[in-house]
Amino acid sequence: MKKKLSLPVQILIALLAGIVVGLICFFAGGADFVTNYLRPFGTIFVNLLKFIVVPVVLLSLIDGVISMGDMKKVGSVGWKTMAYFLATTALACVIGLVFASIFKNAGLFPTLQLAEGVTWDKATTANFMDTLVGIFPTNMWESFTTSNMLQVIVIALMLGAGILAAGEKAKAIQDVVGSAYAVIEKVMAFIIKLSPIGVFAMITWVVATQGAAILGSLALVILCAYLAYAVHIIVVYSFSVKAFAGMSPVTFFKGAAAATLFAFTSTSSAATLPVSKECAENLGVDKDIVSFVIPLGCTINMDGTAIYQSVATVFLATCVGMNLTLGQMITVVVTATLASIGTAGVSGAGMIMLAMVLTSVGVPVDMIMIIYGVDRIFDMGRTALNVTGDISCAVCVNQWEKAKAARKAKA
């Protein structure tokens, strides 16, 4: 029996086939045919993505908060780990937005002449207080129906906290959430399996209407993301381990190298978990801290994914003629950072989260298919970054706990 092709390979084949067919149609003048008869299949796939985003974010976040119920038992280790992860994720968003803005302002990101003949320009005033007020919902169902992702996140966090606070009385709801999330994961897995069809249809349409120039733009957005990855991994993690743990950055990166390389090739934080644990222990981190921080990092630490989302959002906004304001960029940072609590462990989370971020700032989700075909290339770098961040957190938390123990001993 022939071995079935893996999904990444299927997507790659669909991408290459779409580029070839798109170029043929571009030079043969068949752009209208592609727009009328091929693009609708890509639109169907995007519609399914839009459908699944709200239930995935809602249920995964509630489930994520509930699963952290044991954090009270681990006390200071828990909040320090959470604070480190959320701070570095927010920094990653900012770095991604800075690099994307540099590339955009240098004219390296294109504005596409779309088949509809229109561009979107939903830029609003950069009023931070309006953005802050808009995070909090007045009507839960309206937040769901309008896919207001920041409000959905707040609703999920509040419901999750309420379930935890209710304790044993909320056991039935915990079970319902767990069961519903398991069902949604299966539905999402089915939708993700349709990715090759969506990728082929949308990349064929893009190339058929834009020509070969769009391929160069894809290479540039990959370069932009990897430059941001490099700055974050070198600057932020070097500063963290030096300032908070007193460790030489060279020593840290040598110690973490095995896990970083394994994550880069496997594109799986979960598969890298045993290697990450061994690297952290070899760097002198206590086993009990390793066993808490590293698995938690696999679930909620998404520095690489945050950079990818920031770069992709600016790129795709530029493609449709949108200029993101400061307020919208803040929304990107807040959305991606808060969403890191629950969605990282979901298969296909990168694309689902990107759809969520695009929705939060009004960028058409249809555009996601332009870069989804090369998502594997982004994924290698962002997974390596995520795993390295897990180890840096373990090193820092270990030092903080040692310092706390030393102060107690002196007292």
In 3-state terms, what secondary structure has residue 355? Answer: helix
**Is the model more confident about 333 or about 394?**
394
Residue 299 has pLDDT above 90, yes or no: no
The secondary element (H helix, E strand) that includes residue 123 is none
215-264 pLDDT per residue, tens: 888 889 999 999 999 999 999 999 999 999 999 999 999 999 999 998 88
- Region at 117 (left for phi over 0; alpha for psi -120 to 50; beta for the rest): left
- Find where tokens 């985003």 sit: 53
CB 228 within 8 A of CB 95: yes
Domains and their CATH numbers in the chain: 7-406 (1.10.3860)
The band of 3, judged by pLDDT with boundaries at 50, 70 and 90, is low
d(CA 176, CA 112): 45
Mean pLDDT in residue range 83-107: 92
How far is CA 392 from each of CA 83, 112, 336, rounded to the nearest angstrom? Answer: 13, 40, 20
Rounded to two decimals, the pTM is 0.77
The band of 123, judged by pLDDT with boundaries at 50, 70 and 90, is very low
Start-end of H helices in 68-119: 71-74, 76-105
Across the chain, mean pLDDT equals: 83
43-80 pLDDT per residue, tens: 898 888 878 878 887 887 787 677 666 555 456 677 88
pLDDT of residue 394: 93
d(CA 93, CA 110): 22
Q: Is the four-CA dihedral 357, 361, 365, 366 of positive or negative sign? A: negative
Mean pLDDT in residue range 183-190: 86
Residue 133 has pLDDT above 50, yes or no: yes
Residue 122 has pLDDT above 50, yes or no: no
Question: Which range is least confidently modeled, 14-23, 117-126, 257-266?
Answer: 117-126
Residue 146 has pLDDT above 60, yes or no: yes
CA dihedral 240, 333, 152, 360 (to 10 degrees): -160
CB 100 within 8 A of CB 311: yes
pLDDT of residue 354: 83
Mean pLDDT in residue range 343-372: 74
pLDDT of residue 350: 67
How many Å is the Cα radius of gyration of the chain? 22
309-347 pLDDT per residue, tens: 899 999 998 888 888 888 888 888 888 777 665 554 444
Question: Which range is least confidently modeled, 167-181, 194-208, 285-299?
Answer: 285-299
Listed in sequence order, the residues at least 6 apart from 411 whose beta carbon sits closer than 8 Å to its beta carbon are none
d(CA 311, CA 31): 28
DSSP per-residue letters across 259-282: HHHHHHHH--HHHHHHHHHHHHHH
pLDDT of residue 173: 93
- Find where tokens 């962002």 sit: 382
Listed in sequence order, the residues at least 6 apart from 252 whose beta carbon sits closer than 8 Å to its beta carbon are 237, 238, 241, 283, 391, 392, 395
pLDDT of residue 126: 40
